[in-house]
Amino acid sequence: MATGNWVEKQRVGVGAIREMATLRQHDRLAPIANTMNPELQARLKIIPHLDLGLEFDLDRLRLEAARITDYVGYESRAGNVALHGDLYRRSWQGRSLIGFEYDSRKGIHEPTPEYLEGVRRKGLSLGPTDLAAEVPYMMEIINQLDACHLPARVMVIVPAGHLVWHSHMQGRGQLPTCMTVHIPIEMPERFSYEVTANENLTRVHGFLQPLDPSKVYSARYPTGRATCFNSYHYHNVVNRDFEQSRISIMLFMELDREIPRRIFERAVAAYSGPVIG
């Protein structure tokens, strides 16, 4: 099985995020489609795990994650497919940071065009939930990354939990310019993020399973750092620890916006790990 030892560990996040914050103050942040780099999009499609070179204050993140537990706890999620509902209820918990209305139990969804249009048809809009006042540092990070216009959440994968193999883009319609980013807060030693191509999957008893484990790209993301989790290809998360939960911020960054595009261009230029293919 391919491993994640190549994930960058350099501590460059503070200066980089300050530069991005300065850029945010001076640049217009409407989508800039004519600045999209087709080569960038093509490269991102084949990189399984991409360290974005941004590191955050882990102590503050852990303090706010504990505050969520004290404030409301985490909701279990039934999952998108009835067949997998029991699995998701056992494995997956979360709360929205950016959602619709004010309820942190809502808006836990990938930002597919269909979903966002449905929110608009209901006369709703995405914005900070009731958790925002409890987690100001998390909200600051989301704002600095120019990700506050799309859903964001704190996700928990419980001990021995896992999801099903799925693709946000091939299976659910998420746009290929919309990148899925994780900032882990608690990371068990035996937790892994896993990515593989659709051709390496077969269905067994209703669930997709890899045919060749050597073609699964696995990584254990560093805590307090932003990492792009490839959502074009099929992916899964597996917690093989029987005692500790994984807790992570999950947000979405759009490549047709200036701040995300620059972050991803720099990260791809520095990348020297394996590619899917």
For residue 91, is it within any domain? Answer: yes
Q: Name the domain count of the chain.
A: 1
For residue 8, is it within any domain? Answer: no
Cα angle: 209, vertex 40, 99; to 5 degrees:
65
Q: What is the pTM of this model?
A: 0.83
Tokens of 237: 């998360």
For residue 277, is it within any domain? Answer: no
For residue 7, is it within any domain? Answer: no
For residue 221, is it within any domain? Answer: yes
CATH number for the domain that contains residue 122: 2.60.120.330
Spatial neighbors of 254 by CB under 8 A, at least 6 apart, are 31, 146, 150, 175, 177, 178, 179, 260
Per-residue pLDDT of the chain (277 residues; tens, 9 = 90+): 554 433 333 334 444 444 444 444 434 333 434 456 789 999 999 999 999 999 999 999 999 999 998 877 777 554 444 445 666 667 678 899 998 878 888 777 778 888 778 888 888 878 999 999 999 999 999 999 999 999 999 999 999 887 878 777 776 677 888 999 999 999 999 999 999 988 998 988 777 888 899 999 999 999 999 999 998 888 889 999 999 999 999 999 999 999 999 999 999 999 999 999 7
Domain that holds residue 43: 13-270
For residue 101, is it within any domain? Answer: yes
For residue 235, is it within any domain? Answer: yes
For residue 170, is it within any domain? Answer: yes
